Amino acid sequence: MSRYQRDHTGQLRRQLAQLAARIMAEEELADFHLAKRKAASRMGVDVRKLLPSNVEIEAELRAYRALFQGEEHAAHLRRLREAAREAMRFFAAFRPLLVGPVLEGTAGEHGVVSLHLYVDTPEALGLFLLEQGIPHELAEVSLRMAGGRRPFPAVHFMAGDVAMELVMLPAEGGRQPPLSPVDGRPMKRASLRQLEALLGTEPPSG
């Protein structure tokens, strides 16, 4: 491949990444693969070739939000992170960890606060929610683990106008993180203390 061809391919790949990121931002998509296919279709590119990686699209999505949504996005992201902080305090007994777009800084208008909780049994969390009078829906989330994809029980509920997702991981299974859907590496996760540092606040005393 000549230098011209490499440059052209690289430029086209970046254009695909930028369009996929814009689609994710404007259509509130969380599915990287679907965004890639939509971008390839709109540009008339063979979907089997030149597709950018999830990492490239995530970087372009972060840049798009910073450039075109600016202060509005920053304020919305902070509100979601503050909601995550309150939820993590509330569910402290389950050792919550924040994951996903709210932590990564790419969450959109309808972003969901996703927490990983460690439970002895799924019933333990369900009982806790019932005791606290929190309406919720049961769900199942598929996560990539070192040995392949595995389903995990989850619950969805609303905290005011913020959607919450609690994914239940087995307490006895250790704290080996699932693999990121973006780059396949161990998923980035934040404890309450790390989130508070991210928000620029001091951890609560006691």
- Please give, one letter per residue, the 3-state secondary structure of 56-122: HHHHHHHHHHHHHHHHHHHHHHHHHHHHHHHHHHHCHHHCCEEECHHHHCCCCCCCCEEEEEEECCH
pLDDT below 50 — which residues of the chain?
1, 4-5, 202-206
**Is the whole model's pTM more than 0.85, yes or no?**
no
Domain boundaries in the chain?
Answer: 3-52, 71-198
Q: Which fold has domain 71-198?
A: Beta Polymerase; domain 2 (3.30.460)
pLDDT digits (tens, 9 = 90+) for 186-205: 999 999 999 999 998 643 43
